[in-house]
Amino acid sequence: MSRLLITHAKALLGTHTAGTDLVRGSRMAQLPLIENGWLLAEKGRITALGPMDDMPEVPEGPDLTVIDASGRLVLPGWCDPHTHTVFAAPREEEFVDKIKGLSYQDIAAKGGGIVNSARKLRAMHEDDLYELAHHRLVEMMRLGTVAVEIKSGYGLTTESELKMLRVARRLKENLPLQVRTTLLAAHALPPEFANDRAGYIRLITDTLIPQVAAEGLADFVDVFCETNYFTVAEMEAVLAAGNAHGLPGKVHVNQFTSIGAIEAAVKHRALSVDHLEVMEPSDLQALAHATSGPIPTLLPSCSFFLRIPYGPARQLIDRDLPIALATDFNPGTTPSGNMNLVLSLACIQLRMLPEEAVNAMTLNSAAAMRVHDELGSLTVGKRASLLITKPVPSLAFLPYAFGNDHLDTVLIDGTPVRSGTAFA
């Protein structure tokens, strides 16, 4: 479809002015909007929008689709900047162990966890991995996700890490949503390197990073910097090698313990620091003192699933920092790629205002995966990747009535990937 006209929207939300890269601190509570609005998309891009009173004559024609969005909200599509969507199998047996009282660390100690996922992924054919991840992403698009970051990290060998990234590249080529990819070879120490930590880090810095950079297989690098996983010094080596090859860091830090990873991530100009469930005053200070430092990215559905603390959203906002939100979709800590649930948890558990949460999962999350020039707001020139809700009383109703499906239509580049009654 080459032209799409949305009329009579109850509100167009997230109409940030061109050039707004992200919002921080108290500005996060301002979600610009146009009440009773219209929006025109041509060839997949937003070309004009405004209030109904000022709508110009739009020439009719067979290429024009008109959607009457009376009573409905129109929002930028969700950008999910932290996922592990390519994996071989779910781990619901560990879920049952957790119900019986085992912790994430207990499960890893008895051979479960990341290494369990790696065993299965190594044995799986690339085509089967692709089919499984394709299915998950189709469901995520139906739930409103228009851009996704996908990490490797369940291969933990050169061959299997590259296999994961090739699967992600095929998904990017074949699906309409925007995909960015991250090399997370430093996710867990593979059993083969149990007695040679330094050798594994060297494999990442000297072989994998140069190769994925040369083949354009990854946009970013990541490290699970955590007690019993990788040290701050090991993370620094990976971040330095990533920077040398044009791959900025997006790192797992402060999920269970605070070991100085944030300060190091700031030093190495990481694009984002993700998780942040366990934060010491020095960690907050390191972030607050960084000028254009990493974007704090919170993953409340991981906290929900593991029953661990929630990230300190209010303290970050009070320090004039931006926040991005993501699902962390993975088989171990967050078996859900649903950004609508993230919206509810952000409001209920992180105490973010609905406006703050929507900015965090559109504009700021687009910035946390470097797609903010194209996505994250209803702005002329950006991709027409947007959500049309069912008739709802207000924005706050979306997170408030949690667990319900409030979306009617999802458009990616002006084309519906889900069309509801708004099309009738």
Q: What residue ranges bind ligand NIG (CB under 6 A)? A: 113-114, 117, 224, 252, 255, 302, 328, 330-333
User: Locate tokens 């167009």: which residue?
Assistant: 12
The residue among 277 and 374 lying less far from ligand NIG, judged by its C-beta, is 277
130 binds, among Fe ion, ligand NIG, none (CB under 5 to 8 A by kind): none
Task: Tell me the residue nearest to Fe ion as measured from the CB.
Answer: 328
In the complex, least distance from residue 179 CB atom to ligand NIG, rounded to whole angstroms = 18
Instruction: Look at residues 270, 319, 279, 282 and name the one whose alpha carbon lies nearest to residue 298.
Output: 279
The CB-of-278 to Fe ion minimum distance in angstroms stands at 15
Nearest residue (CB) to Fe ion, 129 versus 298: 298
In angstroms, what is the minimal distance from the CB of 151 to Fe ion? 7
Neighbours of 136 (CB within 10 A): 17
The listed partner (Fe ion, ligand NIG, none) that binds 258, CB under 5 to 8 Å by sort, is: none
Cβ distance to ligand NIG smaller for residue 231 or 385: 231
Q: Which does 264 bind (CB under 5 to 8 A by kind): ligand NIG, Fe ion, none?
A: none
Residue nearest to ligand NIG according to CB distances in the complex: 332
Nearer to ligand NIG, 4 or 360 (CB): 360
Cβ neighbours of 355 (radius 10 Å): 19
> Closest distance between Fe ion and the C-beta of residue 209, in Å?
19
Residues lying near Fe ion in the complex (CB under 5 A) are found at: 328
Nearer CB in complex with ligand NIG: 113/414:
113
- Side-chain-side CA neighbours of residue 10 (13 Å): 16
Q: Please name which of 250, 218, 209 lies closest in space to residue 86, comparing C-alpha atoms.
A: 218
Whichever of 117 and 205 has its CB closer to ligand NIG, that residue is: 117
Task: Look at residues 294, 132, 327, 314 and name the one whose alpha carbon lies nearest to residue 223.
Answer: 294
How far apart, in Å, are the Cα atoms of 142 and each of 29, 155, 177, 223, 299? Answer: 27, 28, 11, 30, 20
332's contact among ligand NIG, Fe ion, none, with CB below 5 to 8 A by partner kind, is: ligand NIG
Residue 257 Cβ vs ligand NIG, minimum distance, rounded to whole Å: 12
